[in-house]
Amino acid sequence: MTGTPLGGRFPDAVDSVASAVVPRPVVPARRPRHLGSLVWWIVFAIGFLYFFLPLLGTFAFSMRSQPLFSAYAVVVDDPQFAESLFYSFLVGIITIVVSTILIVPTAFWVRLRLPRLRPYIEFITLLPFVIPPIILVFGLLRSYSGDPFPLAGTDFGSNVLLVAAYVVLSFPYMYRAVDTGLRAIDVRSLTEASQSLGASWFTLLVRVIFPNLRVSLLSGAFLTLAIVVGEFTIATFLARPAFGPYISLIGGNKAYEPAAVSLISFGLTWIAMGLLGLIGRQSRQKIQIAGAH
Amino acid sequence: MTAAPTTPPRGAPAARPGRRFSWAWLGVMPFLLFTLAFLVIPTLYLAVGSFENLAVGPKDPAHGTFTLQNYQALSQPNLADSYFASIEISLVTAIGGGVFGFLLAYAVIMGGLPRFLRSALMTFSGVASNFAGVPLALAFTFTLGASGILTPFIKAAGLSLNIYSKTALELAYLYFQFPLMVLIIAPAIDGLRKDWREASENMGASAFQYWRYVALPILLPSLLGTVILLFGNAFGAQATAFELSGGAINIVTMQITRLLRGDALNDPGIGYALAMGMVAIMGITIAAYAFLQRRAERWQR
């Protein structure tokens, strides 16, 4: 816009003729803003350095291995790298599916039939913030090692516990995303319309509600994926062959490869967030609290 | 929410509304049962255990009886220190990250920087607030550790930084703390309308007066709430500390880590009390956040 000859001199004045007549207030206002913005540039520069220096340091460190990029080659060739990444990715997908199946009907039902229950359900979905992952896995291990359900004793049982724990961690993001999505559509009218056309509850949920929630579900899903794929605490104590424990393992055993894996992991987070930003442009996510520090 | 199952029997005489009620309840049952099994029961297990006498062997008649000993044991210097250190680290990174995150968000929104820097900052904040745990700790080790890339420069400047120290951990936490502040506070800064500034300027207010009497009171609940949230964010963190210090630093999550790996505390009851102490602090933190967030929303549309 500023490039066009019309708005070039007074970019702010295009919409109003009056402001072109009184250009004076623009001039004194601009000078202090210029001085002040120097301070803000410095603040931004500090933030920029804080963000990039550790990444740069990691990259430089990974380049110390000879020949160049050999650390990356070693990592990519390591079968455990692909296996653990695949495992974590799979767990992430299953988590998202289970979480969606639990959250969407619940949020829908609460909005339609049990609005009085809403604050309580919202409270429950916020509980994972009160109970950090280390406490959650502590309790899960103690509750499910013993007799009625000795899940932690078997491989399959531990996988179930891992997915269950991640589903719990995803509740705040998924519920918030779905609830925001439901607010934007007229749940009651859609329900009545599809039921008067003879749709069952299942058809209603799968063919009407789900498609309407696609954007919000995707944003919740990518956030969940970003958290789950690198998660360390729960996966370690359940002794799962996940990506987080794998990074820690080679971090203790090798010299330059951990730097390469760290950067790859950073790239994966970036991709997940980039996709989140792409799809979430309309529905702005209000809270993004990572639960896997 | 726990009162739920008790309602249907009461409505038994009036058949029709009663049946309808139980039908509606059924809809949220899968969610409630899942939460019960994988969140409530595990937490209750720890809560109940924290009040049981587990210091004596299972054959002793006193085993499993009610006691407050476990909580009293938290005053042992080693355990009390771990709480103090956790609280100190969380406070420092919450306030430091909060102040810097706010300045950064203000810089790109109100500071007259080019617009594209704002979306760049938002993207990077989304990434950095989720880039944590093991990779973050490794990145800091490669940058500031014994053979780190920046370490020679720090030494040349006459400074020194021990990567196993609290300061190093705080620096690492700040990496995800200030971006989280940026993400959450940006909508609040957006909510500061130009009219308010113009109105106060028209009435002759200085920049200081505008901040003191208009902007700050409006932003205060958001600022405080988010700083409290950052506190909880750091308080519950485990992976970063574990990887950075190799578990050597004495904070609460490391005490529980040692406990779970079986190389500390032979009394499980104390471990449960340790965990419940964390839950209590987190509970207060999140409750305060929720309260302040509700106040803050009055000014955001």
Q: Give the residue, B283 or B158, on which the prediction is more confident.
A: B283
Q: Does B129 touch chain A (CB under 8 A)?
A: yes
**Please, which pLDDT band fits residue B281 given cuts at 50, 70 and 90?**
very high
CA atoms within 13 A on the CB side of B35: 23
Q: Does A293 touch chain B (CB under 8 A)?
A: yes
Contact criterion met (CB < 8 Å) for A117 and B28: yes
Sign of the C-alpha dihedral computed for residues B156, B159, B164 and B166 taken in this order: negative
Q: What is the pLDDT of residue A36?
A: 66
- Out of B30, B37, B135, name the one closest to residue A265 (CB): B135
Q: Does A58 touch chain B (CB under 8 A)?
A: yes
Contact criterion met (CB < 8 Å) for A121 and B184: no
Nearest C-alpha neighbor of A274 from the set A225, A232, A206 = A225
Rounded CA gap, A178 and A210, in Å? 10
Alpha carbon of residue B281 to chain centroid: 10
Rounded CA gap, B267 and B54, in Å? 6
Rounded CA gap, B122 and B188, in Å? 14
Token look-up 């409505």 returns: B11
A293 pLDDT exceeds 60? no
CA distance B244 to chain A (A): 10
Alpha carbon of residue B146 to chain centroid: 30
B210 pLDDT exceeds 50? yes
CA distance B78 to chain A (A): 19
Query: Which residue of chain A is at minimal alpha-carbon distance from B107?
Result: A40
Q: Which residues contact B6 (CB under 8 A, 6 or more apart)?
A: none
CB B214 within 8 A of CB B200: yes
| pLDDT tens per residue across span A60-92 | 989 888 788 888 988 888 999 999 999 999 999
Q: Which amino acid is located at A263 in the chain? A: L
Phi, psi of B52 (to 5 degrees): -105, 150
**Please, which pLDDT band fits residue B115 given cuts at 50, 70 and 90?**
confident
Report, as an integer, the average pLDDT of A163-174. 94
pTM: 0.84
Rounded CA gap, B81 and B250, in Å? 7
Q: Give the residue, A161 or B54, on which the prediction is more confident.
A: A161
**Please, which pLDDT band fits residue B146 given cuts at 50, 70 and 90?**
confident
Which tokens belong to B239?
């992976």
Give the C-alpha distances (Å, rounded to integers) separating B96 from B154, B175, B230: 21, 11, 10
Report, as an integer, the average pLDDT of B243-259. 90
| pLDDT tens per residue across span A219-277 | 888 888 888 988 999 999 999 999 999 999 998 888 889 999 999 999 988 888 888 77
CA distance B107 to chain A (A): 5
A211 pLDDT exceeds 90? no
B62 pLDDT exceeds 80? yes
Mark residue A198 as left, alpha or beta (left: phi above 0; alpha: psi -120 to 50; beta: remaining).
left
Mean pLDDT computed over every residue of chain A:
82
CB A290 within 8 A of CB B136: no
Contact criterion met (CB < 8 Å) for B45 and A139: yes
**Please, which pLDDT band fits residue A147 given cuts at 50, 70 and 90?**
confident
Q: Given 3-state DSSP classes, what are the helix, strand and coil percentages for chain A, each rounded to the nearest 5?
A: 75, 0, 25
Report, as an integer, the average pLDDT of A136-165. 91
Q: Which residues contact A221 (CB under 8 A, 6 or more apart)?
A: A96, A100, A174
CB A167 within 8 A of CB A102: yes
Q: Give the residue, A276 or B28, on which the prediction is more confident.
A: B28
B264 pLDDT exceeds 80? no
A26 pLDDT exceeds 80? no
Where does residue A112 rank: exposed (0-12), middle (13-18), buried (19+ CB within 10 A)?
middle
Q: Give the residue, A269 or B46, on which the prediction is more confident.
A: B46
CA distance B42 to chain A (A): 4
**Please, which pLDDT band fits residue B22 given cuts at 50, 70 and 90?**
low
Count of C-beta atoms within a 10 Å radius of residue A22: 9
B105 pLDDT exceeds 90? yes
How high is the ipTM of this complex?
Answer: 0.86
SS3 at position B167: helix
- Chain A and chain B share a number of CB contacts under 8 A equal to 276
Using a CB-CB distance cutoff of 8 angstroms, which residues of chain A are in contact with residue B3?
Answer: none
Q: What is the pLDDT of residue A236?
A: 94
A13 pLDDT exceeds 60? no
